[in-house]
Amino acid sequence: MIVMLISNESKKDRQYMVSYAKDFAGRCTEESWKMLTCVSIRELEETVARKVKVDIICVDITVNGALELTKELRQISPSAYIILVASPQISPVKYMRPSIGAESLMLKPLDEKQIQEVLKEALGAYVERFYRPDGAKVFVLENKGERNLINYENIYFFEAREKRVYLNTDTEEYAFYDTLDELTKRLSDGFIRCHRSFLVNKNKIEKVFLSQNRLVLEEDFEIPLSRSYKPALKEYLMKGEKING
């Protein structure tokens, strides 16, 4: 599923963006799309507070506070394609920043021609990325006819249970058929095995309690640590001062 967020207080502009995006999705992809719309800055604040992860973001940053919220959206969804709606009165210095990483721009006043041209290019670029992903940056998960691209930075751990593997982010869980042995071979050195049922993201490890046979990841995930995997984990962690006994 591809999730697109549109935040724009103009009903006319917002509706045309949604209409064009849906039409593009139907013509150019076989994926299901979900459209999220924010009609006010308050709704955008609520969306950010819920840490909703999206794939494509289109935000009107002429609204007070929207630019800062867009920075937060980038942190929540590091691999999202961002389209900004700005105005000639706003200096590009304010919004063309790495902390936002916008790839497309619309300038007010908007009309259907500009919206169509920008969305056609932006959505086309995203779809190309979606179907030809960079395997070094994202984990491609295909299940029951749906494809999800999950940035490795967002993955906390993989868990094997009930004959399936579960990929866990901070808020979501995705099930698919595979084995941890095969995943360990395919994944980069950014992941390490700590238990026969768990493979964790090294960058998410906060503390390791060797005597208690457990480790703690960011967001307070507690993961079991088995004896057979202690030596390799301890060797890796000695540099980071994350061992608590």
Torsional sign, CA 224, 225, 226, 228: positive
pLDDT digit string, tens, across residues 116-141:
999 999 999 999 999 998 888 889 98
pLDDT at 151: 86
pLDDT at 39: 98
For residue 86, with 0-12 CB atoms within 10 Å meaning exposed, 13-18 middle and 19 or more buried, which class applies?
buried
CB 166 within 8 A of CB 157: no
pLDDT at 52: 92
Q: Is the pLDDT of residue 198 over 90?
A: yes
Kindly indicate the confidence band of residue 168, based on its pLDDT and cuts at 50, 70 and 90.
very high
Q: Is the pLDDT of residue 91 over 80?
A: yes
Kindly indicate the confidence band of residue 2, based on its pLDDT and cuts at 50, 70 and 90.
very high
Q: Which domains does the chain possess?
A: 2-131 (3.40.50.2300), 138-237 (2.40.50.1020)
**CA–CA separation, 40 vs 48, rounded Å?**
13
